[in-house]
């Protein structure tokens, strides 16, 4: 794969014991150093105009000033230093690069993966939250549409948390489809089945809140039965995966049971859906807080594009997942 990576992303220091640390990127790079076919690209940081296309100008000047003044605790978990704003622009720039390369036809071994931090999917139009300052995937999606390179973008967010920021930013627009598979009840508490979009965006928001304990088979079924048919029908020009790896069974902050091999199975599905939809495919890093499992899982995604066939899950879909799937069918999602 081709990885978007910018040194500025290491300078966003969050302090001793914060789970969202620069060591996340170092662990990924260390693991990828043992792989063939890994290329790094340092794409340009996002221009501020791309950021203000999804974030309020007032918020952007406030957070910039906060960082210029040395940073501090923006909220209980969202910590900034002076270098945070540049890191956030760098991370958003890598996401824009991933969307642009995917649209330009980079696929297979050249599939783009933006390795930026701080992550983005919790950042709402007018606020930073949940370790996120700039909504990287949202900036990327909006910019390729505004630039005229894409008519429609679909985003699958498989981070264990609901990406409330992407959800809200695109809730009432029809040109970006946002789908999220997340742990029900976990931070930030949003993302119910009956939140399906409004106005022009009616039917282009899909929330799959799985109960704790769900794993590979449940995630694969959510993609096979809902995300895939929805995305193919939406006919996007590019699909972005907001790729957090905190649903891993050994991640310290969730109760989900996805395995490293399972992330491979999810990856093959998204590759196949992109092919069926005749869309580009790019990945944007979100969360993932077990350094080893994060590094192994990103490496697994890379290996899939390098020819590895991951083992398919052999367990049954759990009853707790089929109940959510029935609710989704009641909302009209899935195979038409
Ligand atoms: Zn997360």
Residues 6+ apart with CB under 8 A from 154: 176, 177, 178, 179, 231, 234, 236, 238, 239, 240, 277, 279
Q: Give distance in angstroms: CA of 43 to centre of ligand 1.
A: 24
**Span 150-160, pLDDT tens digits:** 999 999 999 99
CA of residue 126 to ligand 1 center, whole Å? 20
Sequence spans of domains, the chain: 2-331
CA of 161 to the centre of ligand 1 (A): 4
Predicted confidence (pLDDT) at residue 335 exceeds the cutoff of 90: no
Q: Is the pLDDT of residue 16 over 90?
A: no
Q: Where are the alpha helices (DSSP H) in 181-280?
A: 216-222, 228-234, 260-277
Instruction: State the pLDDT at residue 276.
Output: 98
CA distances, 46 to each of 49, 50, 95, 300 (Å): 8, 6, 9, 28
On the question of pLDDT at 336 being above 90, the answer is no
pLDDT at residue number 229: 98
Which residue in 12, 55, 121, 122 is the catalytic one?
122
Percent with pLDDT over 70 in the chain: 100
Q: Are 248 and 295 in contact (CB under 8 A)?
A: no
pLDDT digits (tens, 9 = 90+) for 234-270: 999 999 999 999 999 999 999 999 999 999 999 999 9
pTM score of the predicted model: 0.98
Centre of ligand 1 to C-alpha 288, Å, is 6
Please tell me whether residue 79 adopts helix, strand or coil conformation: strand
Residue 119: the pLDDT is 98
What is the per-residue pLDDT across 155-193, written as a single tens digit (0 to 9) for each?
999 999 999 999 999 999 999 999 999 999 999 999 999
- Interval 285-306: pLDDT, tens: 999 999 999 999 999 999 999 9
Quick check: is 122 catalytic? yes
90-140 pLDDT, tens digit each: 999 999 999 999 999 999 999 999 999 999 999 999 999 999 999 999 999
**DSSP E strand stretches across the chain:** 2-4, 39-41, 72-73, 79-80, 112-114, 153-157, 176-183, 205-210, 238-243, 280-285
Multiple choice CATH, 2-331, 3.20.20.140, 2.120.10.30, 3.40.800.20, 3.10.28.10: 3.40.800.20
pLDDT, tens digit (0-9, with 9 covering 90-100), for 134-155: 999 999 999 999 999 999 999 9
Torsion of CA 232, 235, 236, 242, to 10 degrees: -20
Mean pLDDT of the chain: 97
């Amino acid at each position: 794969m081709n990885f978007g990576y910018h040194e500025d992303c290491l300078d966003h220091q969050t302090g001793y014991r914060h789970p969202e640390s620069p060591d996340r990127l170092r662990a990924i790079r260390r693991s990828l150093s043992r792989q063939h076919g890994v290329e790094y690209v340092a794409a340009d940081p996002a221009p501020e105009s791309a950021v203000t296309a999804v974030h309020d100008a007032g918020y952007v000047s406030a957070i910039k000033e906060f960082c210029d003044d040395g940073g501090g605790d923006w909220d209980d978990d969202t910590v900034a230093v002076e270098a945070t704003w540049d890191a956030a622009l760098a991370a958003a720039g890598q996401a824009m690069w991933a969307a642009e390369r995917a649209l330009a036809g980079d696929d297979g071994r050249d599939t783009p993966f933006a390795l930026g931090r701080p992550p983005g999917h919790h950042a709402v139009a007018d606020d930073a939250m949940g370790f996120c300052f700039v909504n990287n995937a949202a900036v990327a999606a909006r910019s390729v549409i505004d630039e005229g390179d894409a008519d429609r973008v679909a985003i699958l967010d498989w981070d264990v948390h609901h990406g409330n920021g992407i959800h809200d930013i695109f809730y009432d627009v029809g040109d970006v489809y946002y789908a999220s598979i997340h742990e029900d009840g976990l931070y930030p508490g949003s993302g119910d089945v009956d939140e399906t979009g409004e106005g022009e965006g009616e039917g282009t928001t899909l929330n799959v809140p799985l109960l704790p304990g769900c794993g590979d088979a449940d995630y694969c079924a959510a993609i096979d039965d809902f995300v895939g048919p929805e995305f193919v029908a939406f006919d996007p020009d590019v699909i972005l995966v907001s790729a957090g790896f905190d649903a891993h069974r050994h991640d310290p902050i969730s109760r989900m049971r996805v395995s490293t091999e399972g992330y491979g199975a999810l990856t093959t599905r998204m590759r196949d859906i992109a092919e069926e939809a005749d869309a580009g495919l790019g990945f944007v890093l979100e969360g993932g807080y077990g350094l080893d499992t994060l590094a192994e899982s990103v490496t697994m995604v890379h290996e899939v594009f390098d020819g590895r066939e991951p083992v398919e899950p052999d367990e049954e879909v759990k009853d707790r997942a089929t109940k959510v799937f029935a609710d989704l069918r009641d909302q009209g999602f899935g195979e038409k």
